[in-house]
Structure 1
Amino acid sequence: MPPILDAWRHRPTHQRVWAMAVPMILSNLTVPLVALVDSAVAGHLPQTQDLGAVAVGSAIYALPVWSLGFLRMGTTGFAAQASGAGDSAALRTVQAQALLLAAVLGVVVGALMLPLLPWMIGQMHSTPPLAARSLDYLHIRLLGLPAALLNYALAGWFIGAQRARTTLALLLVTNIANIALNLVFVLGLGWGVPGIALASACGEWLGAIYGLWCARRALRGLAGQVDWRAMRGFAHWRPLLMVNRDIFLRTLALEGVFFSLSLLGARLGDATVAANALLLNGLMLTAFGLDGLANAVEALCGHAIGARDRLALRRALVVAGGWSLFGSIGYALLFALAGHGFINLQTSLPEVRETAYRYLPWLSALPVVAVWSYLLDGLFIGATRAREMRDGMLVSVLLFVLLAWFARGWGNHGLWLAFLAFMAMRGLSLGLIGWRLRQRQAWLPESVHAILRP
């Protein structure tokens, strides 16, 4: 029997993949809830500037939170490998390092942003009343930044330790607390925009407190201790910091492509940039499902690498890859057959609708092209090979820039061609790097302990 078919027929791996993927898919669906609730509450306040202030403030607050997402991804791979190696002391150490790094970055980045807030709000070309309300929102909202980053670190550790349900519970506590406090602070006490910001910040802190409590419970069943004396030296921090550095650079490059897509689309007209935004919401919808399977790959492949189990590694990748392919085909068919309805749900403007209809074929092709980058990102995160992810992303960005330049005469079709090629190159570059690592038999290191605890 061929190895791939044999791996696909391994029922326990299917069960493990979905045991990880389902909670993560549900977790992904909760992510837009905070912004949605904040906007819905602000939309019922008496001044139009209130809704605008929440929108502007949320966009600025998202910059550090999104950029520091490496705290989640970097932690997952190390925790998964420690779990697979059965190294409880390393698992404890990964958690301690991730939480300390998140706390420090939360305080430092928040303090650095405070004097920059008036300038950042000014770049939005806001009116004076809107700018003042946005500043009030952000001054309070930034109090929750350390908690938001702690939640990233906690979620990464729980995923790596194969506790996906705890990650889901963590996000549910955060979002339910935010909704309840919005009702109390804004609709009950009438605190307006500051109340919305306070509700979000308190929700993040309540989520972090719950997550820390869950983490402490999880550690009770683990042997070993954190080597606090060794953690005073840079050598003990170097692996985590280097991985996080490379994921951070990769994230900046990815953000640059999406920003360029909006910027170049805006030059093609208001209807075009609006239509592109609606189509990219389809990519976000696709990510809800496929990212959940990628998270399963992170945990299961990282665990297999830690255990030096080549067969388990192949099974996890084949099973998650198969389901990801089926999911991507389902999304492609959804956009091909019901794309007009998807656009119509988002806008009633005839010009924007007609513009979006013309570019629907690109959206229909996107899931099948992008799925491989999601899947292989999960593999490389689980293997803590962030440098290779960074290099693959930089090659993909270079291709995007070149194609966007040479295809500029094709208008928005040229822009979508460049973006589709970018997503394809992400998967192809990681696939080639992964194949070379396999040829060198480098996926399973000689000593996982040397990676986790130098």
Structure 2
Amino acid sequence: MPSHYTHILALAFPLILSNLTVPLLGAVDTAVVGHLPDPAYIGGVAVGGTIFSFLFWGFGFLKMGTVGFTSQAFGAKNLPEQQASFLRPMLLALFFGFLLILLQGPLLQLCIHLIDGSAEVQQLALQYSTIRIWSAPIALSNYVIIGWLIGKGEPKLTFILQVIINSVNILLDLIFVIQFEWGVEGVSLATVIAEVVGFAVGLWIILKKSNFFSNKIDWQNVWLRSHILALFTVNRDIFIRTLCLIFSFAYFTRLGAGMGDEILAANAVLMHFLYFSAYGLDGFAHAAEITTGHAKGRNDNIEFKNAVKASSVMAFLTSIIFVAVFYLFGQLIVGLFTDIPSVQSTASEFIYWPIIMPLLSVAGFQFDGIFIGTTRTADLRNAMIQSLFIFLLSAWLFVPLWGNHGLWLAMAIYMATRGLTLLRYYPGLLKSIGQNP
């Protein structure tokens, strides 16, 4: 196996394991309430989770922007910038986190109203959200910690941190919901405690297990105006891109909620297929972020091409494995999430849509990693806006005709379009590497 393939695999494998703990946690959240007697519990957690996809993943630029700047700083061996690439977004994360807590009342009410759902689902979602919101500063800070470790090229440390966060969360899920019978409030409280544990462990890893303090911090460089403006430009673009992505999933949830609690619950179960494949394939996207960022830091066109080719080939082969696993074990997986017969039956009717999704979405995930690693975020933003427009148009056309099948068709078109729209911008990116030493 060529050395660049070996390097990608060494980076991607622990990142895949690390990423898969995230949808595993969501799966456990769904499973522990999926065995309660009413499908509204699944809907409540699904709506609550969607709300925090809006409120927290709207700030996902804190992770993605950190990866890009950090990988380039380490590629260029710029020690002051390696420190600054952590400190600048961390200050932003704390500011935005406390702002979310201050604005929680109107924000949560607005989100629950927009997503809709039955009165019982809305009430359960509100119970979930009023607890989860208090983790905002810590949750956003964890994005920065994980982004910095990924950008530094420390997949094993990233894996350890993610496993700790999600293991604590899963354990507390089982205790709070099954043992103490706290319902959706127990699911939310478990997440808050796990985020706090992860923050403490993450800071310890960075301060004790890296050379962060090998040089005195250059605070003048941290506050350098041109670098702060670059950070805000990149983060603005990623913020718009992420909002478009989150909106599409929230709109999917809202349309499903309008079809009844059984459809909402079934779609929530089936979306975990998509989450598992997305987070798994993101391991190769993260590897692409690291290697293409290092290549840009060194301005090396050959290294860049090798990184793109190796990560993309291995991601495509992995997507085929996901399709095979979902096809063979899909019904079994649905049964693990819920024992409610109506939800199982409804999920079985639509199960082939998420089975084919890994093949449709792999190109979009790979290009995300490539464009984030090289901080070509304006292209990323523009492509996502175009993809969202096509998704909304598809939903408008197909949902009235075919109901939930039409909704899943629109999602399939959306995932494929994400890759196709970014493909248009790739030649310009390729020309920019190695052309301006």
Q: TM-score, normalised by structure 2?
A: 0.83
Q: Is the 8 A contact 2:14 2:159 kept in 1?
A: yes
Q: CA deviation at 1:214?
A: 1.7
Letter of the aligned partner of 2:417 in structure 1?
A: M
1:418 corresponds in structure 2 to 410
1:436 corresponds in structure 2 to 428
Q: Is the 8 A contact 2:26 2:272 kept in 1?
A: no
Provide the rounded CA distance (Å) in 2 between the counterparts of 1:191 and 1:409.
Answer: 38
Provide the rounded CA distance (Å) in 2 between the counterparts of 1:62 and 1:395.
Answer: 21
Query: Deviation digits for residues 81-134 of structure 1, max 9, x if unmatched?
Result: 111111111111101112111111111222122454466567666569957x95
Q: CA deviation at 1:408?
A: 4.7
Structure 2 unaligned regions, length at least 5: none
* Residue 446, structure 1, aligned to residue 436, structure 2: yes
Q: CA deviation at 1:24?
A: 1.5
Count of residue pairs brought into register by the alignment: 434
2:199 corresponds in structure 1 to 208
Q: CA deviation at 1:180?
A: 6.3
Please give the secondary structure, in 2, of the residue aligned with 1:220: coil
Q: CA deviation at 1:376?
A: 0.9
Q: CA deviation at 1:368?
A: 1.3
* Residue 251, structure 1, aligned to residue 242, structure 2: yes
Q: CA deviation at 1:403?
A: 2.9
Change (3 A) 1:424 1:37: closer
- 2:54 aligns with one of 56, 63, 67: 63
1:292 corresponds in structure 2 to 283
* Residue 16, structure 1, aligned to residue 7, structure 2: yes
Please give the secondary structure, in 2, of the residue aligned with 1:86: coil
Query: Deviation digits for residues 419-443 of structure 1, max 9, x if unmatched?
Result: 22222221111112102333xx213
Q: CA deviation at 1:15?
A: 2.6
Q: Is the 8 A contact 1:43 1:51 kept in 2?
A: yes
Question: Which one is further off, 347-356 or 409-418?
Answer: 347-356
Provide the rounded CA distance (Å) in 2 between the counterparts of 1:395 and 1:49.
Answer: 34
Q: Is the 8 A contact 2:34 2:42 kept in 1?
A: yes
Q: Is the 8 A contact 2:138 2:196 kept in 1?
A: yes
The alignment-based identity, stated in percent, is 37
* Residue 427, structure 1, aligned to residue 422, structure 2: no
Change (3 A) 1:257 1:98: same
Letter of the aligned partner of 2:424 in structure 1?
A: L
Provide the rounded CA distance (Å) in 2 between the counterparts of 1:351 and 1:195.
Answer: 25
Provide the rounded CA distance (Å) in 2 between the counterparts of 1:21 and 1:247.
Answer: 22
Please give the secondary structure, in 2, of the residue aligned with 1:29: helix
Please give the secondary structure, in 2, of the residue aligned with 1:411: helix
Q: CA deviation at 1:20?
A: 1.8
* Residue 105, structure 1, aligned to residue 96, structure 2: yes
Larger Rg: 1
Letter of the aligned partner of 1:431 in structure 2?
A: L
Letter of the aligned partner of 2:148 in structure 1?
A: W
Q: CA deviation at 1:311?
A: 2.1
2:22 corresponds in structure 1 to 31
Provide the rounded CA distance (Å) in 2 between the counterparts of 1:268 and 1:56.
Answer: 14
Letter of the aligned partner of 1:158 in structure 2?
A: L
Please give the secondary structure, in 1, of the residue aligned with 2:378: helix
Q: Is the 8 A contact 1:25 1:289 kept in 2?
A: yes
Q: CA deviation at 1:345?
A: 4.7
Question: Which one is further off, 348-357 or 103-112?
Answer: 348-357
Please give the secondary structure, in 2, of the residue aligned with 1:31: helix
Q: Is the 8 A contact 1:84 1:307 kept in 2?
A: yes
Q: Is the 8 A contact 1:28 1:288 kept in 2?
A: yes
Letter of the aligned partner of 1:287 in structure 2?
A: A
Question: Which one is further off, 198-207 or 95-104?
Answer: 198-207
2:386 corresponds in structure 1 to 395
Q: CA deviation at 1:364?
A: 3.7
Structure 1 unaligned regions, length at least 5: 1-8, 448-454
Letter of the aligned partner of 1:442 in structure 2?
A: S
Change (3 A) 1:97 1:429: same
Provide the rounded CA distance (Å) in 2 between the counterparts of 1:129 and 1:274.
Answer: 14
* Residue 315, structure 1, aligned to residue 315, structure 2: no
Q: CA deviation at 1:397?
A: 1.6
Provide the rounded CA distance (Å) in 2 between the counterparts of 1:74 and 1:232.
Answer: 17
Please give the secondary structure, in 1, of the residue aligned with 2:418: helix
